Amino acid sequence: MPETETSYEHIILDEHDVPIIEGTTMKVIELAGAAITYNWSPAELQDQFPLLTLGQIHSALAYYWDHQAALDQDMEHRLQRVEELRRQAGPSPLRTRLKDQGLI
């Protein structure tokens, strides 16, 4: 399925209907997550992601705030999946060796 344009300039939906910043691989939830987690302004986000324009950043944030419930639910689902995979993988061999050596 091809990408789909949205009514938000710079934002498209990929083949899985995930909103991304056009011309990049950055998902809207990745940028919004950074903004929320670190309390970064659009200018600070541009410092951290210098390949993005302020227009792209503002458009992504507008998309996030207009679709907050669905995107927050998607983020929570992804976090739960990571935890599930972490449990299935078991302890890291590196972590086990470091622990055995008293380094952690």
Distances (CA, A) of 84 to 1, 37, 76, 96: 29, 22, 12, 20
The confidence score (pLDDT) of residue 1 equals 60
The confidence score (pLDDT) of residue 43 equals 97
Domain boundaries along the sequence of the chain: 4-100
Residue-by-residue pLDDT tens, the chain, 104 positions: 677 777 899 999 999 999 999 999 999 999 999 999 999 999 999 999 999 999 999 999 999 999 999 999 999 999 999 999 999 999 889 999 999 999 98
CA end-to-end distance (rounded Å), the chain: 47
> What's CA 67's distance to the chain center, in Å?
14
